[in-house]
Amino acid sequence: MTRAHLALLVLIAVVASLPLFGGAYALRVGTMACMYAIFALSWNVVGGFAGYPSFATAAFFGLGAYATGILLSKGVSLSVALAGTLMASFLLAAALGAVLLRLRGHYFAIASLSLVEVFRELVNNATDLTGGGMGLNIPLASGSGILADATFFFYAMWGLLVLTALVVIAVSVSKLGFGLNCIRQNETAANMVGLNATLYKSIAFGLSACFVGSAGGIYAAWVHYIDPSDVFDILYSVKPIVMALVGGLGSPLGVVCGAFLYLGLEEVVWRNYIQIHSGVLGVLIIILLLFLPHGLISLRWAMFWRKVKHV
């Protein structure tokens, strides 16, 4: 385990102390921060390690939200529903990845984006099961008051973030991570030396979907009501890419820092420029990427280079 991985785990451990210092608002922001970090870490597996620009995050987030919501409405406990959602998301995404990941570059990006609309239409038309456009009401999971409810879901999302970070770190130092790095650099050469690129990419796509699906399940249980326009929002596919670029593509520590910075900017801009917050946030992101094209993680290298030049 590298120092960057240790720093990532320390950073996530610090986030766990948030309920000691803040009220319901801090818990809401903390829950969203953990959810965004899960998005960024999950996207990094297929986008950062393998180099495939996936836009399928919103598709698996929405699917996980509805899968968990339906199971909860049938009387299944939250832990069992989340475990089932995680496994189902992994298997479904791995099967889809075996087909979609035969495409490359822009073609794969468009194909992954189409998954969002396909799943949204399926949910809209399965009215008896999902409520269709009317949405789905989800029963309370904890039922212990507003603050206790917020604390419960904060730690639920934080626990999923810890699990996601541990798996992503394990992938980055494993044979799978090495294989994905080879695929990103030259997939044809990787195939020629005997690497099973299809299997590696399918596993990466499954891992990028399963934690996002479980995050969708926790989100659905947290808000108690979901509808297709909310959980299949295309911004859920765009934001992880921006977070990864802001933090540093391919670095687990960088993408989590990027997720936290993005959420901070989003909150500040929303409070001060409520009418034009999307435009202001977009300009800030562009400026940040212009002056820091390799993300936050490149700051230490810039400082190191200045020291070398000074010597």
Q: What is the pLDDT of residues 154-204, one digit of tens each?
A: 999 999 999 999 999 999 889 998 989 898 888 888 888 788 888 999 999
**What is the rounded CA–CA span in Å between residue 202 and residue 191?**
15
Q: Residue 225 forms beta bridges with which residues?
A: 137
The predicted structure's pLDDT at residue 145? 74
**Burial of 144 by CB count in 10 Å (0-12 exposed, 13-18 middle, 19+ buried)?**
exposed
pLDDT of 306 strictly over 80: no
pLDDT of 311 strictly over 60: no
For residues 140-161, average pLDDT: 82
Angle at 271 between CA 295 and CA 260, to 5 degrees: 30
Tokens linked to 246: 């802001």
The predicted structure's pLDDT at residue 224? 87
- The amino acid that residue 217 corresponds to is G
Beta carbons of 231 and 124 less than 8 angstroms apart: no
pLDDT band at 137 (very low <50, low <70, confident <90, very high): confident
Beta carbons of 240 and 40 less than 8 angstroms apart: yes
Q: What is the pLDDT of residues 7-26, one digit of tens each?
A: 888 889 988 888 777 778 88
- The amino acid that residue 111 corresponds to is A
Query: What integer best gives the mean pLDDT of the chain?
Result: 86
Beta carbons of 249 and 258 less than 8 angstroms apart: no
Please give the distance of CA 172 from its chain centroid, rounded to a whole number.
Answer: 17
Largest CA distance in the chain: 71
Among the residue ranges 112-116, 188-192, 202-206, 288-292, the one predicted with the least confidence is: 288-292
pLDDT band at 141 (very low <50, low <70, confident <90, very high): low
Q: Quick one: three-class SS letters along 148-208?
A: HHHHHHHHHHHHHHHHHHHHHHHHHCCHHHHHHHHHHHHHHHHHHCCCCHHHHHHHHHHHH
Q: What is the pLDDT of residues 43-97, one digit of tens each?
A: 999 988 888 888 999 999 999 999 999 999 888 888 999 999 999 999 999 999 8
Among the residue ranges 71-85, 170-184, 265-279, 288-302, the one predicted with the least confidence is: 288-302
Q: What is the pLDDT of residues 251-261, one digit of tens each?
A: 888 889 888 98
pLDDT band at 249 (very low <50, low <70, confident <90, very high): confident
To which residue do tokens 């120092």 refer? 3
**What is the rounded CA–CA span in Å between residue 193 and residue 188?**
9
- State pTM to two decimals: 0.89
pLDDT band at 309 (very low <50, low <70, confident <90, very high): low
CA nearest neighbour of 246 among 184, 297, 172, 300: 297
**What is the rounded CA–CA span in Å between residue 159 and residue 164?**
9
